[in-house]
Amino acid sequence: MRDFTPEEKELIINTPITENCFESRGQITFNYERIYNEDFDFWIFLVTHLETLRQQYVGTNDERYFIELINLLPNSYKVVKL
């Protein structure tokens, strides 16, 4: 697991995770639709799951939620948001 500065961690915690978090200036940085083009529901499930983990961490401050969240977030999310 990568070490985060307190500022990076706060940004992840305080930024709701939506589909728009994975786009940067028109360039798709994380596109499950391309991989699962016949099953776009997987993409929606993944984004929803990531947001649920973020909310669970915010509500409990249980580090296990944060660790799971950052393990599942693609590197492109961190580049886009941080």
Tens-digit pLDDT profile for residues 42-73: 778 888 999 999 999 999 999 999 999 988 88
The answer to whether 72 touches 1, Cβ cutoff 8 Å, is no
pTM for this predicted structure: 0.72
CA–centroid distance for 35 within its chain: 18
In this model, does residue 81 exceed pLDDT 60? no
Tell me the average pLDDT of the chain: 76
Beta-strand pair 27-28/23-24? antiparallel
- Contacts of residue 11, defined as CB under 8 A and 6 or more positions apart, other chains included, come to 81, 82
